Structure 1
Amino acid sequence: MAVAASVSRATAARALSHHGYVGDETATRVQEAADRLGYRANRVAQALRSGQLPIAGFIPGDIQNPFFAGIAHDLEVELRKHGHNLLIASSGDNAAQERELLESLRALGLCGFVLTPASAASSQHIAKLARDGVPCVLIDRVAKGARCDSIVVDNVGGARAAVDYLVANGHRRIGFLRDDSQIFTAQERLAGYLRALTGHGIVPEKQLIARSRSVVEHAIAATTRLFRRRNKPTALFTVDSLMTQGALLGLRAMGLQVPHDVSLIGFDDFSLATFTDPQITVVAQPTAEIGALAARLLIERLAGDMADPQHIRFPTQLIVRGSVSCPPAR
Structure 2
Amino acid sequence: MVRKPATLKDVAALANVSRATAARALNSYGYVGDETAQKVQAAAEKLGYRGNRLAQALRNGQLPIVGCILGDIQNPFFARIAHDIEVLARECGHNLVIGSSEEELDQEISLLSSLRSLSIRGFIVAPTSATSNAHLQSLISENVPLVLIDRVAENVDCDSVVVDNEGGARKAVEYLIAMGHRRIGLLQDDTRIFTSRERMTGYRTALAGAGIASDDRMIAVSQSTVEHAVDATIRLFSQKTPPTALFTVDSLMTQGALLAFRSMGISIPHDVSLIGFDDFNLATFTDPQITVVSQPVSEIGRAAARLLFDRLSGKDHPPEKIRFETKLIVRGSVSRSVAG
**TM-score of the alignment, normalized to the shorter chain, above 0.5:** yes
Show the counterpart of 2:130: 120
Secondary structure in structure 2 of the residue aligned to 1:264:
strand
Show the counterpart of 1:26: none
Unaligned 5+ residue runs, structure 2? Answer: 1-44
Q: Which amino acid aligns with 1:73?
A: H
Show the counterpart of 2:80: 70
Aligned length: 294
Cα distance per residue 1:149-207 (max 9 Å; x no partner): 01111111000100111111111111000103421110110010001011011111110
Conserved? CA contact 2:288–2:333, under 8 Å: yes
- 1:152 paired to 2:189: no
What aligned pairs does 1:165-180 form with structure 2 within 5 A after superposition? 165-180=175-190
- 1:142 paired to 2:152: yes
User: Of residues 55, 63, 66 in structure 2, which corresponds to 1:56?
Assistant: 66
- Write the distance in 1 (CA, Å) between the matches of 2:122 and 2:286: 39
Q: Out of 178-187 and 214-223, give the one that drifted further.
A: 178-187
Q: Share of identical aligned residues, percent? A: 62
- Write the distance in 2 (CA, Å) between the matches of 1:223 and 1:162: 18
**TM-superposed deviation, 1:212:** 0.6
Show the counterpart of 1:260: 270
- Write the distance in 2 (CA, Å) between the matches of 1:264 and 1:320: 11
Show the counterpart of 1:109: 119
What aligned pairs does 1:70-89 form with structure 2 within 5 A after superposition? 70-89=80-99
Q: Which amino acid aligns with 2:267?
A: Q
- Change beyond 3 A, Cα 1:128–1:189: same
Q: TM-score, normalised by structure 2?
A: 0.82
What aligned pairs does 1:190-229 form with structure 2 within 5 A after superposition? 190-229=200-239
Cα distance per residue 1:32-91 (max 9 Å; x no partner): xx9xxxx89887456336432211111011111111111001101111111011111111
Q: Which amino acid aligns with 2:70?
A: P
**TM-superposed deviation, 1:133:** 1.1
User: Of residues 183, 187, 202 in structure 1, which corresponds to 2:193?
Assistant: 183
Secondary structure in structure 1 of the residue aligned to 2:337:
coil
- Write the distance in 1 (CA, Å) between the matches of 2:54 and 2:70: 25
Show the counterpart of 1:7: none
Cα distance per residue 1:266-289 (max 9 Å; x no partner): 001111111111111110111111
Q: Which amino acid aligns with 1:310?
A: E
Show the counterpart of 2:11: none
**TM-superposed deviation, 1:120:** 2.9
- Change beyond 3 A, Cα 1:40–1:205: farther
Q: TM-score, normalised by structure 1?
A: 0.85
Secondary structure in structure 1 of the residue aligned to 2:221:
strand
- Write the distance in 2 (CA, Å) between the matches of 1:241 and 1:44: 42
